[in-house]
Homo-oligomer: A and B are copies of this chain.
Amino acid sequence: MNLVELQTLMDDLYGARDRERGLASSVAWLTEEVGELAQAVRKGSRRQQEHELGDVLAWLASLANQLGVSLEESVKRWASGCPQCGATPCACP
């Protein structure tokens, strides 16, 4: 799945509800999921880690949708190497 498809999928599924609840709720929900991911990293199974990574990614896509931001555009900074030093792999001090 590419990043555009991911945002479309999340908009189809949750866009109307998420817009109704508003941005602050989405930020709160994203934060909650990051907390669950942190716990899964510390003591969860690989399956739980996959589940929580997916939840964070889903909320990130939903938040991007509400902000009118393209995740595809947001990762173009890395396309030609590290944005700071320009190298692949990164050679920042």
Residue of B nearest to A92 (CB): B17
| Interface range, A side | 35 or more
A54 near B71: Cβ-Cβ < 8 Å? yes
Number of copies of this kind of chain in the complex: 2
- Whole-angstrom CA separation of A14 from B68 in the bound complex: 28
A79 to chain B minimum Cβ distance, whole angstroms, is 8
A88 near B13: Cβ-Cβ < 8 Å? yes
Select A88's contact among B12, B53, B64, beta carbons within 8 Å: B12
Residue of B nearest to A55 (CB): B74
Q: 4 extra interchain contacts, Cβ-Cβ under 8 A, other than A12-B89, A17-B90, A31-B38?
A: A2-B2, A3-B3, A30-B37, A53-B60
